[in-house]
Structure 1
C-alpha cells in the first residue's frame, strides 16, 4: 500500500513540475503576438484542431484576421493566410523566420540538427546551401546525370508497355513512380538501383528501403511527442527514432566507406558521393563524413517525397532529347 502511495505521489509531483514548466515557458514568450482563440493549459489549442487543416485555418482567419497565433502544446505557431503578408515574411523578414524548430527527428535523423533541412539559419546553413547550389544542384552537375534520368524513364515506359502488351490493364502508377524516383536519386547519389529489376544488392536494397520507409513514417513534424514531451515517457517515440537513425547512419556510412575504397582503387562511378569525397580531400575539416551523410540524406528524403516533380523533370528531359531514350 505504501509503495502504491509513493508511486502516485511521485507521478503527481512530476505532473505538477511539467505543468509549471510549460506555464513558465508560455510567460517567456512576447505578449505582442497575433490574436488567437482561447486556449487550455498545457495543451494550448490542440483540442481545436480539425481536418482538413486548411479549412480549419480558413475559419480561424475569417474570425481573427489574416495573421493569427496558435499554441500547440509547448510550441507556438503563427499562421499567415494573406499572400501579401506571406511575401513580406519571405522577403523583408526572411532571416527572422529562417530558423527551424528543434524536433526530435531532427536530432536523431538530421545529425543533431546539422543538415540543411534541420539546421537553424547561420554560417553552417549558408555553407550547406552554397554546397547544394554549386556542388550538387548546379546545371553542370545535373546535366552529368541526364543519362540516368533518361534510362529510368525508359525503364518505366518499357514496364508499362510490357504490362499492357495484349490488352488494357490497370496499373498502380504511384508505386511505380516512387520506385523510379528513388532509383533516380540513388543512382545519382551512389550509382545503385534499389527498386525493380537489376537491383545492385537485394539484401542491402531491402534494408535501405525499410529504413527509408521508417524514416518517412517517423520523421515528420506531426508527432505528438514534439508538442507534448511528456508523451515520450509512454509512447517510446524518441527511442524508436533514435534506433532508426542509428540504422540509417550505418547504411549511409557503409556507402561512404565503399566509395572511398573505390576511389582508392581508381574505380569511382562519378556519383555525388564520389564528388563530395573529392571535396573532402581538399577541405577535410568541413567535408566530414557526417556532413556528406547529411547531404545524402536530404537528397534521398527530398527526392523520394517529390515524385511528381521528378516525373516532370525526367519526362521533360526525355521529350527534349528523344535521341537519348532509345
Structure 2
C-alpha cells in the first residue's frame, strides 16, 4: 500500500512538471542568448574587465531592448531602453518595487536594512517616510542651507587661491579629488555636523581618512559581482574574497558611526545642543531621549547607526527622464532635492568664477571604472584660470 502511494506521488510530480513546462511554452518569452553555461548560466560572459553596462548594451544591440539572462539559479529580465524603463518605474512600479537580497546588502548594510536595498514592504515604507519627512524635507534642507553655501564658498576660494598661487599659470587641478572632498564635507556636516580640511582626509588613520576609505570601499564592493548572488550555496567558499572584504568594511563603518553617535549623546547630556538650524541629521534622529539607556526616541542605538548608514550612498547628480540617475517611482532616491541643490550651486559657482579647459586641449577621458556609481577610471584634470580677484569670490 505504501509502495503504491509512493509510485502515485512520483507520477503526480512528473505530471505537474510536464504540465508546467507545457504551460510555459505557451507564454511569450523574452529572447535569450544561447550561450548559457550549466549551473553558471550567462555569468562567464559578464566577468570580463569591461563594465557590465557595456556588455549588457552589446547584447541588447543584438537581441533587442528586452531580453533574459540566467545568473546562476536566477533568471533575470534585462531592460535596455529608457522608454521601457520609464514604463517599469511608472505603470508597473509596484510590481517591480521589491529588491533581491545581495551580498553587499547583507554584509555591509545590515541585512538589507538600507532602504535602497530593502525589500518592498512595511519596513521599507516606514524608513522612507522617516527619511522623507524628518531628514530630507524641503523645510529641513532649508534649515541646512548654510552648510551647502559655506562649504561651496570655501571650495571656490580654495580653488581660486590654488590657481592664483600656482607656479604654472593657468593651473592644472585634479577636479575629481576636489569635488570628492567637497561632497564628503557637505555630507558629513549634514549628517553628523562635522567637517575636515582636505589635507586631513589624506592623513592616514585619522577619523576622516578611515571614514572616506570605508565609504569608497563600500561603494566599490556594492558595484562588483559576487558569485553567491547568483549561486547562494557557494557563499561559504568566497574564493573572490569579496564577502570577507564586505564584513571588514562594515566593521570599519560601524566603528566610526558609533563614535559619532556617542559624541552626539554626550553633547546632549552636557547641554551643548545648538539651534534648529544647527541640528544635523543625527541630532534629528535622537531629538528625544527615551528613559532606557539604550533607547533613543523609541529606537535602539543600533537602529540609529543603521539609519545613519542609509545616507552613505547619496548620489549628487542631475535628473533627466532619459537618464534617470535618481531612478523614478516609489523606489526613487529621496535625496533628489538635496542632490540637485548641491550640483546646481557648485556647477554655477565654478562656471561663473573660472575659465576651464582640458589639459593640452585633449577630449575628456570618459573611461568607466568599477563601482556602483560607475566612477571615472582616471581622475578628471582641468586647467583653470580665475576670472576675477579673490575678494570678489
- Decide: shared fold, TM above 0.5: yes
Larger fraction in helix:
1
Match for residue 41 of structure 1?
38
Query: Do residues 257 (structure 1) and 299 (structure 2) align?
Result: no
Structure 1 runs (4+) deviating above 6 angstroms are 304-308, 316-319
Offset of residue 69 of structure 1: 0.8
Larger fraction in strand:
2
**Secondary structure, counterpart of 1:70 in structure 2:** strand
Match for residue 181 of structure 2?
179
Distance 2:106 2:197 in 1: 29
Match for residue 315 of structure 1?
346
Residue 216 to residue 232, structure 1, CA distance change in 2 (3 Å): farther
Match for residue 218 of structure 2?
215
Match for residue 282 of structure 2?
273
Match for residue 299 of structure 1?
311
Residue 305 to residue 287, structure 1, CA distance change in 2 (3 Å): farther
Match for residue 139 of structure 2?
140
Distance 2:261 2:270 in 1: 14
CA contact (8 A) 1:208 1:251 kept: yes
Distance 1:87 1:246 in 2: 37
Offset of residue 162 of structure 1: 1.0
Residue 313 to residue 255, structure 1, CA distance change in 2 (3 Å): farther
Offset of residue 315 of structure 1: 2.9
Offset of residue 265 of structure 1: 1.4
Q: How many residues in Structure 1 have an aligned counterpart in Structure 2?
A: 295
TM-score by length of 2: 0.65
**Secondary structure, counterpart of 1:69 in structure 2:** strand
In terms of Rg, which structure is larger? 2
**Secondary structure, counterpart of 2:299 in structure 1:** coil
1:40-74 Cα distance to aligned partner (Å, 9 max, x none): 11111123336454454344335433321111223
Offset of residue 228 of structure 1: 4.3
Offset of residue 87 of structure 1: 2.7
The answer for unaligned runs of 5 or more in structure 1 is 1-26, 320-324
Distance 2:300 2:185 in 1: 25
**Secondary structure, counterpart of 2:173 in structure 1:** coil
Match for residue 170 of structure 1?
172
Match for residue 14 of structure 1?
none
Offset of residue 141 of structure 1: 0.6
Distance 1:286 1:221 in 2: 36
Match for residue 357 of structure 2?
none
1:98-119 Cα distance to aligned partner (Å, 9 max, x none): 1112111111211111121121
